[in-house]
Amino acid sequence: MKHVIFTGAAVALVTPFNEDGSVNYDEFGRLIDFQIENGTDALVIAGTTGESSTLSEAEHVEVIRYAVDRAAHRVPVIAGTGSNDTATAVMLSQEAEKIGADALLLVTPYYNKTTQNGLYVHYRKIAESVKLPIILYNVPSRTGMTIEVETAARLAELDNIVAMKDAVGNITYTANLINRCGDSLTVYSGNDDQIVPMMSLGAKGVISVLSNVMPRETHDLCAAALAGDFRTAAEMQLRYLNLIHALFIETNPIPAKEAVNRMGFRAGECRLPLYHMAEKNAAVLEAEMKKFGLEGIAAR
């Protein structure tokens, strides 16, 4: 079996901003410590939930650097370094390696949609430029691109492409992927509402938005599934399902940031064009958070 970066629940962490839009590093440190102290299994920095698409290249590198230093090897730090420009993805990946990140998360190129052969060459170029283990990020709802199963199998032949974050949302795709790739590619759920179904097929955990507000519970859900206790895991999946839906009632990470702010952290607003939640949707999120006593817990 190839190197396994983590098992369990990795948080796709929000990036907190000050009122002037700059990164709030003091609060970023608090969020990192909160996650690690509450059982998160890995940190994903500057991913979709971390608003990577609105970070400048300098901010992108500095956010990863800060997370690596703050985590101090307590859990793996996975740096989101994907881009729709291969050269930029190579540069960010090399910088993350120099900084000391433990692994990379590479989203498929977006907007300038390529072919499956183009995808393969894109990822191969990045993989050849670094030694870090790589997680492919397959999220067609965001990018308009899907890594087909045969392309994933081809990529898995490269030594440092070791995993996929599968956010396709199609359990048949997941089954075919795991059946085709076996131990050559660790699969993580990219959707919080599908953790248990995907783990029942052999996925090793989740890269989670839910973990921003419930790191311990998301870890425990995955731990139950990894132990083969799918009855307990399924009960937990269903218990948190309405909260998961509320966290995606608007475009991620808008509700996630609202939730983290309601917990008592100073996550600030999303950067435009993402905008704060509509009142009716915020009320739904508030009601679901209150069911689990999440409001204000960071200030207690």
Residue 252 in contact with residue 216, Cβ under 8 Å?
no
The 10s digit of each residue's pLDDT in 179-216 is 999 999 999 999 999 999 999 999 999 999 999 999 99
Average pLDDT in the chain: 96
Residue 252 φ then ψ, to 5°: -65, 135
How many Å from the N-terminal Cα to the C-terminal Cα in the chain?
Answer: 44
- Give the domains, in start order, of the chain with CATH numbers: 8-227 (3.20.20.70)
The contacts of residue 29 (CB under 8 Å, 6+ apart) are 66, 70
Percent over 90 (pLDDT), the chain: 96
Q: What six digits make up the tokens of 290?
A: 């209150």
Rounded mean pLDDT, 27-38: 98
pTM: 0.96
Cα 291 from Cα 279, distance rounded (Å): 19
DSSP 175-226: HHHHHHHGGGSEEEES-GGGHHHHHHTT--EEEESGGGT-HHHHHHHHHHHH
Query: Tokens 């059946």 sit at which residue?
Result: 179
* Residues involved in catalysis: 137, 165
d(CA 163, CA 186): 4
For 243-300, the pLDDT digits (tens) are 999 999 999 999 999 999 999 999 999 999 999 999 999 999 999 999 999 987 776 5
